[in-house]
Amino acid sequence: MTKWLGHSAIAILAALALPAMAKSWQVDPAHSTLTFTNSYQGVEYTGQFRRFNAVIDYDPNDLAHAKFDVTVDVTSLDTQNSERDHTALGADFFDTAEFPKAHFVTTAFHKAADGKVVADGVLTLRGVSKPVALTVSFKPNGDAATLDVTAQVKRLDFGIGTGQWADPSMIGDGVAVHGHLQLHGAK
Amino acid sequence: MPLRSNEAGWGALVRAFHWLIAALIIAQGVIGLSMVQMGVTPAKVRVFALHKSIGITILALVLLRIAWRLSERRPADAPAMPQWQRRAAHGLHLALYVLILAIPLSGWWFNSASNAPLVWFGWFDLPSLTGGLDPVWKPRALLLHQTLFWILVALLVLHVGAALWHHFRQRDDVLRRMAFGPRKYDGEAR
């Protein structure tokens, strides 16, 4: 009996000592997208990054242990206009020869006044790291879930298209980013 | 000069359409051939936007011109012209109308298939003819746009050559009745 109590105490202590883990999710790349909307010559257009990796640890009831860690293959840019894409990957814009990857990692999650979950994080793009906040919408569905995140990013903050290309009437400064992730439970 | 055309000459509106569209086509050809040589800069983007805006302007003017032209009679052919010349002249004019409609339309089509913006002088957007990127028709529309342009250049050589031939060799009224300014032909060599 004493032995049993001792073992239980050790087990409970061990459980308390271990860092609590939010639920880990696998991203289904075939049904997940990372899109953005910007303007070119005053006309709105939508583009996407076709390849990205996202590590998602998220439990809506345990925001303290939530974490998103996303790496984007910037060369997978597609705005449905090959000339524009070619220019965008060049040195004046994303400069993928020098900076092929972009990285976003969360630093803290909190609930905003309107009840929405906000993920604060740091975006590293074209060698520049700046804080970026995501608005998080998480919809569980049995063993799966849908995660939608949106963010407003300013391209000029990251040195994308500066100098002669800085004019926002030619290329808008504001970029609305939308990640749509189809998740299923980790095995 | 009357606004409407009559038996003796073209009306003021037809002449205005003719010379305005002629000037825009020449400018458009020069811009089009130059812009494709430019390096990728904001200036290139603006020159492309200008080319598109002028092209849409030409398309609209040609449509108005055709509508006006169908509403009135045309002057008689020069009396000295044999039948084959009359047929050739009318055929060439019809071909020019077809080309100056088809070239801006093929440019619009290429622009649409490329998923590029089309904003008329920064004022308003024109719709896409393809509903977004169309990688199959994009190169075909460009080839058509370029081919029709060079056919237009060839036909304009004939058109201008024929006008000058009428004026300087035949010494008839054919060029004068489309021009602004000079008095009606009075039979004297000038």
Structural domain count, chain A: 1
Structure confidence by residue, pLDDT tens digits, A64-73: 999 999 999 9
Domain membership of residue A179 (yes or no) is yes
Asked if B132 is an interface residue toward chain A (Cβ–Cβ < 8 A), one would say yes
pLDDT in the model for residue B186: 46
Distance (Å) from the C-alpha of residue A67 to the closest C-alpha of chain B? 37
CATH number at residue A142: 2.40.128.110
Q: How many residues does chain A have?
A: 187
pLDDT in the model for residue B9: 85
One digit per residue, the tens of pLDDT, for chain B of length 190 reads: 788 898 888 999 999 999 999 999 999 999 999 999 999 999 999 999 999 999 999 999 999 999 999 999 888 888 889 999 999 999 999 999 999 999 999 999 999 999 999 999 999 999 999 999 999 999 999 999 999 999 999 999 999 999 999 999 999 989 999 998 755 544 444 3
Interatomic CA distance for residues A93 and A155, integer angstroms: 9
Domain membership of residue A10 (yes or no) is no
CA-wise closest residue to B129 among B105, B145, B148, B147: B105
DSSP character for A173?
A: S
What ipTM did this prediction achieve? 0.78
Domain membership of residue A3 (yes or no) is no
Mutate to test the interface with A, among B111, B133, B142 (most CBs of A within 10 A): B133
Report CB contact under 8 Å: A165, B119. no
Cβ-based contacts of A89 with chain B (< 8 Å): none
CA-wise closest residue to A72 among A114, A124, A113, A108: A124
Asked if A91 is an interface residue toward chain B (Cβ–Cβ < 8 A), one would say no
Sorted by where each starts, the structural domains of chain B and their CATH numbers stand as 12-170 (1.20.950)
Cβ-based contacts of B115 with chain A (< 8 Å): 45, 79-81
pLDDT in the model for residue A9: 59
Report CB contact under 8 Å: A41, B132. no
φ/ψ of B35, rounded to 5, equals: -65, -30
Residue recorded with tokens 């490329």? B114
Asked if A46 is an interface residue toward chain B (Cβ–Cβ < 8 A), one would say no
For residue A39, give its domain range: 21-185
Helix (H), strand (E) at residue B112: helix B83-113
* Nearest chain A alpha carbon to B123: A42
pLDDT in the model for residue B120: 97
pLDDT in the model for residue B190: 37
**Which residues 71-90 of A have a C-beta within 8 angstroms of B?**
79-84, 87, 90
Stretches in chain A below the pLDDT threshold 50: 18
pLDDT in the model for residue B189: 40
pLDDT in the model for residue A180: 98
Domain membership of residue A113 (yes or no) is yes
Report CB contact under 8 Å: B119, A42. yes
Interatomic CA distance for residues A91 and B60, integer angstroms: 40
Report CB contact under 8 Å: B117, A40. yes
pLDDT in the model for residue B181: 72
pLDDT in the model for residue B110: 98
Cβ-based contacts of A84 with chain B (< 8 Å): 116
* Nearest chain B alpha carbon to A84: B116
Interatomic CA distance for residues A123 and A28, integer angstroms: 22
